């Protein structure tokens, strides 16, 4: 039997107030436990889709179901509790005076008792390799550390679906490597929007190519991202590690 669906979109549309079409009839299914990459050129609608997942944006047409919930006023609090959204710029997300306060922000808002909050904070910081950062000020962290702490802040809310928007922008190679390790170590359902195709290749077993607010193609990441003609038609390039003359890649790279 197939795993239950974490996300189901049918003809999903979103028209911004100024008339721009962000999504134009998008069909997509994501199973629970999957790690799915969303790739596509700038303006393809990746961010718009992610903002629908936790109810920040509402569909203007079509159907959407996230973790069995239809977005709406009534389901909004539950949606926000169960879906963790990681924004493109960590500075938008780290708004509390210290790392501790910031990571504790979500669990405290859930009304959890003190010991539980402390435990969640400890585990989340551990997960992203930032144990001991509690007293630091977020604005004094390096880019990679900011990204790690912003992920911890969302993990501490114990989401069932994690959505990341361009997680590797603003990161240097070391920060990026660290991010990849963090993402590979998670078990929660993940949707990763990125035009860092190498990153998608390493953390997503399946990928979806978006353009013009629609799904253009989808399939196993390794196969999809090796399709030069398809990628170039949509403004993307085949990642170096998949080009024929580069080193042979590890066969276990496309594992589930």
Partner 1 sequence: MHRLDARGKALAVLAYASVVATLPVGEPAPFLVLAAWPVGLLAAARVPPRVLLGALVAASPFVLLAAVFLPFSHAGGRLLWSGPWGVEVTSAGVRAAVAVVARSSLCLAATLALVATTRFGDLVAALERLGLPAVLGLTLGFVHRFLFVCLDLVRRVLCARAARSPRLGPGAALRSAGGMVASLFVRSYERSERVHAAMMARGFTGRVRPMARPRWRTADLGFLAFTAALLAAACVLEGRA
Q: Which does 240 bind (CB under 5 to 8 A by kind): ligand ADP, partner 1, Mg ion, none?
A: none
**Minimum CB separation from ligand ADP for residue 164, in Å?**
12
Q: Which does 106 bind (CB under 5 to 8 A by kind): ligand ADP, Mg ion, partner 1, none?
A: partner 1
Q: Which does 43 bind (CB under 5 to 8 A by kind): ligand ADP, partner 1, Mg ion, none?
A: ligand ADP
**Minimum CB separation from partner 1 for residue 163, in Å?**
10
Segment interacting with Mg ion (CB under 5 A) among 2-10, 12-20, 30-38, 44-52: 44-52
DSSP secondary structure string for all residues of the chain? -PPPEEEEEEEEEEE-TTS-EEEEEEEEEEETT-EEEEE-STTSSHHHHHHHHTTSS--SEEEEEETTB--STTTHHHHHHHEEEE-S-HHHH--SSSHHHHHHHHHHHTT--HHHHHHHHHHHHHHTT-TT-TTS-GGGS-HHHHHHHHHHHHHTT--SEEEEESTTTT--HHHHHHHHHHHHT--SEEEEE-S-HHHHHHH-SEEEEEETTEEEEEEEHHHHTT-HHHHHHTT----GGGSTTSPPPPGGGG--
Among 47, 54, 168, 207, binds Mg ion (CB under 5 A): 47
String of contacts with partner 1 for each residue 77-116, x by CB under 8 A: x--xx--xx-x-x-xxx-xxxx-xx--xxx-xxxx--x--
Q: Is 208 in the site for partner 1 (CB under 8 A)?
A: no
State the residues that interact with partner 1 by CB under 8 A. Answer: 51, 54, 56, 77, 80-81, 84-85, 87, 89, 91-93, 95-98, 100-101, 104-106, 108-111, 114, 117, 135, 138-139, 153-154, 157
């Amino acid at each position: 039997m197939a795993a239950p669906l974490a996300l189901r979109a049918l003809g999903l549309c979103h028209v911004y107030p100024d008339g721009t079409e962000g999504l134009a009839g998008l069909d997509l299914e994501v199973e629970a436990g999957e790690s799915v990459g969303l790739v596509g050129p700038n303006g393809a609608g990746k961010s718009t889709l992610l903002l629908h997942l936790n109810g920040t944006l509402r569909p203007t047409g079509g159907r959407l179901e996230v973790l069995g919930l239809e977005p709406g006023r009534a389901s909004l609090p539950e949606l926000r509790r169960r879906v963790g959204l990681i924004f493109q710029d960590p500075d938008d997300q780290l708004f509390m005076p210290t790392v501790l306060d910031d990571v504790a922000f979500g669990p405290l808002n859930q009304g959890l008792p003190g010991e539980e909050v402390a435990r969640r904070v400890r585990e989340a910081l551990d997960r992203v390799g930032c144990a001991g950062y509690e007293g630091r000020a977020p604005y004094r962290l390096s880019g990679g550390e900011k990204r790690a702490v912003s992920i911890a802040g969302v993990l501490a809310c114990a989401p069932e679906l994690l959505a990341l928007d361009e997680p590797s922008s603003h990161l240097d190679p070391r920060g990026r490597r660290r991010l990849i390790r963090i993402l590979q170590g998670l078990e929660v359902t993940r949707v990763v929007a990125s035009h860092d195709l190498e990153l998608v290749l390493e953390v997503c077993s399946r990928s979806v190519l978006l353009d013009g607010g629609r799904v253009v193609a989808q399939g196993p990441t390794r196969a999809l991202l090796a399709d030069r003609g398809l990628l170039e038609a949509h403004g993307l390039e085949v990642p170096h590690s998949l080009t024929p003359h580069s080193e042979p890649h590890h066969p276990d790279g496309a594992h589930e």
